[in-house]
Amino acid sequence: MTAQDKIKDTVTANEVVLFMKGTKSMPQCGFSSRVAGVLNFMGVEYADVNVLADDEIRQGIKDYSDWPTIPQLYVKGEFVGGCDIITEMTLSGELDTLFAENGVAFDKDAAEKIREANG
């Protein structure tokens, strides 16, 4: 199975996937930590893929999405974005809408608290 096959299987088998440096409980870069922190705080259930554990996946995810940086968030098999995009979507409420439209459970009050703290 190629890295592309593994990635495709992962993003299609899980509602929400975060390809990141480290894990959701122990991120190993600030950008990954920020996105994982948002998802964790909002109570989103997601699969985390540590790209540092597999060089083929680390490069493969960049090729798969045609996006040069990590972390990368996928919802229902679709690439959403990296840290800056997820941060903007969280603060604008777009991430709430995306989750709601895709039937992904999240804590709306927690999302509001993020916006209040950063408003």
CA distances (Å), origin 22, targets 25, 26, 48, 88: 8, 6, 9, 22
- Kindly state the helix (H) or strand (E) to which residue 20 belongs, with its residue range: strand 16-20
Q: Residue with structure tokens 């903007």? A: 88
**Around Cβ 87, how many Cβ atoms within 10 Å?**
18
Q: Residue with structure tokens 């948002």? A: 38
Residue 18 DSSP code: E
Whether 29 has a binding-site annotation, put simply, is: yes
Binding-site residues for [2Fe-2S] cluster sit at 29
| Binding-site residue ranges | 29
